[in-house]
Structure 1
Amino acid sequence: MSGEGLPQPCHLRGNRRSPEEALVPALIVVGLLLAGGVFFLALLRSNRAALETEPGDVDVFTH
């Protein structure tokens, strides 16, 4: 078991780029940020009162 057939980590190969597998998590993060921005803009355009409500102003159990 000398480990000759095992691939070396990126930092030992001198490769400073992130691996190709990092593309999928990056796309997920970008997609979530875009979805949050679209939701915020939709809420801003359609129901501005929801953004101007303080947490203590509305009792959620009475309506």
Structure 2
Amino acid sequence: MFLMFPLLVALYSQLLDLPLAAFDNGVNQHKWLITLLYLLYVLLWLRFNRRVMAMLEQRRR
């Protein structure tokens, strides 16, 4: 899950054809968008992970 943030930054820079240095130079709009995308990913992961764990627990019974 923690490796997703660097992958998200790399994918974002590739899709928008931005150099990675643009994130270090204080382009705040990109930083906020990437942070929001990452938080959305974490929330979705937590939601689906609970469902998968519940389904696996039911199957064991």
Q: TM-score, normalised by structure 2?
A: 0.44
- Answer with 1 or 2: which has the greater Rg: 1
**Structure of greater relative contact order (alpha carbons < 8 Å, 6+ residues apart):** 2
More helix by share: 2
